[in-house]
Amino acid sequence: MLTQVILGMALALILVYHNIKYYTRGNRNMKIIDMHCDTLLECYRNPSHTLSSNSGHISIDKLLQGNALAQFFAIFISPKEKEGMDPYEIFNTVYETYKAQLELNSDSIKPALWTGDILSNAENSKLSAILTIEDGVVLSDKIERVQEVFDKGVRLITLTWNFENAIGYPSSDDPAEHARGLKPFGIEVVEEMNRLGMLIDVSHLSEGGFYDVAKYSKKPFVASHSCARALCNHRRNLSDDQLKTLGNQGGMVGVNFYSAFLKEDSEYATIDQIVEHVKYMVNKAGIESVGFGSDFDGIDCELEFKDYASYPLLLSALSKHFTEDQVDAICNGNALRVLKENLGK
């Protein structure tokens, strides 16, 4: 009986994935899953900056014009906010902004707590919002907070930002610092996130921390918004071995659109630069391990394309180098797979 139940669940998951794949191919208005943006913080800081109307990179109309399927929305624990609030207070305050924005735009976008929700929302002509946290400093040293934020809908945590926290250390230009691994609490966090099905995000994490995640995580993990270090020697970017490790463990990397991560000393991000990083990372990690993590509304560089609405220009450029099935995998299939393998449904 138990074997039949497990087989039934596995078949259901396969059907969900293939239904999503079929749906996104048939409806080009619902295609891209972008794994990182900082739009929520902008909405919190400026009441006139809303999901329905703003001058930034992401709004409801821009998501629709850009062929969005689902957007990961980060609650970024910014140093500016930390001057007056505790990190957990920042999370809960911006979380209220998130709920309010979704309610105001409920005719266009709904939260996705499980992989199947993305398909259900798309079938009802709605975008999906996936809530994340950028900087595990929110957890302090309280493991119960992982469950607390999961219960509020968080499905990914970026373990560190640019500062040390109770989990571990950030990427660094100092080789000794960059080699530092997870703290004991960080290992405990990895295990708890695995138990719940939350995506573990190693963007911003030290290289030593990256390899500790690879060692201790029982599920695929992600670098939600990072690029290839071989093409741009920045501490935030991933080495060839890190890319291969991600691929070997079934994880994925979302290419970041920030010019400083795409090309050294650049202040202007181009489509060709992004395509080159995608091609390179596919070569090292595999076609099943690369996607998008634009960092929209968190990057301040000039862009060849103005905002999310111009995503089709990038897809057109990618189609010159990849098959339709491969572009579909980069756009949404890989993210859907990693979500399913973590969340289980």
Look up residue 12 and give its two tokens: 């259901």
Task: Give the mean pLDDT of 228-235.
Answer: 98
Q: Report the distance separating Cα 138 and Cα 130, nearest Å.
A: 18
The CATH number of whichever domain residue 45 belongs to comes to 3.20.20.140
Percent of the chain whose pLDDT exceeds 70? 91
pLDDT top residue among 288 and 13: 288
Please tell me the pTM assigned to this model.
Answer: 0.91
Predicted pLDDT of residue 248: 98
Judge contact between 122 and 336, C-beta under 8 A: no
pLDDT at residue 224, rounded to an integer: 98
- In which domain, by residue range, is 160 found? 2-343
Closest CA to 202 of 180, 226, 219: 226
> Where would I find the beta strands (DSSP E) of the chain?
32-34, 68-76, 109-111, 127-134, 154-158, 199-201, 222-226, 252-255, 268-269, 290-292, 302-303
pLDDT digits (tens, 9 = 90+) for 148-198: 999 999 999 999 999 999 999 999 999 999 999 999 999 999 999 999 999
The mean predicted confidence, pLDDT, of the chain is 92
Is the pLDDT at 25 greater than 70, yes or no? no
Q: What is the pLDDT of residue 50?
A: 97
pLDDT, position 12 = 39
Reported as a single tens digit per residue, the pLDDT across 31-78 is 999 999 999 999 999 999 999 999 999 999 999 999 999 999 999 999
The predicted pLDDT at position 345 comes to: 87
Cα–Cα distance, 292 to 274 (Å, whole number): 10
Say how many domains are in the chain.
1
Residue 153 gets the label, from left (phi > 0), alpha (psi -120 to 50) or beta, of left
* Burial class of residue 6, CB neighbours in 10 A (0-12, 13-18, 19+): exposed
Q: Is the pLDDT of residue 4 over 80?
A: no
Q: What pLDDT does residue 202 have?
A: 98
Residues 257-295: tens digit of each pLDDT: 999 999 999 999 999 999 999 999 999 999 999 999 999
Confidence of residue 14 (pLDDT cuts 50, 70, 90): very low
Q: What is the pLDDT of residues 298-337, one digit of tens each?
A: 999 999 999 999 999 999 999 999 999 999 999 999 999 9
% of the chain exceeding 90 in pLDDT: 90
pLDDT in tens, 113-135: 999 999 999 999 999 999 999 99
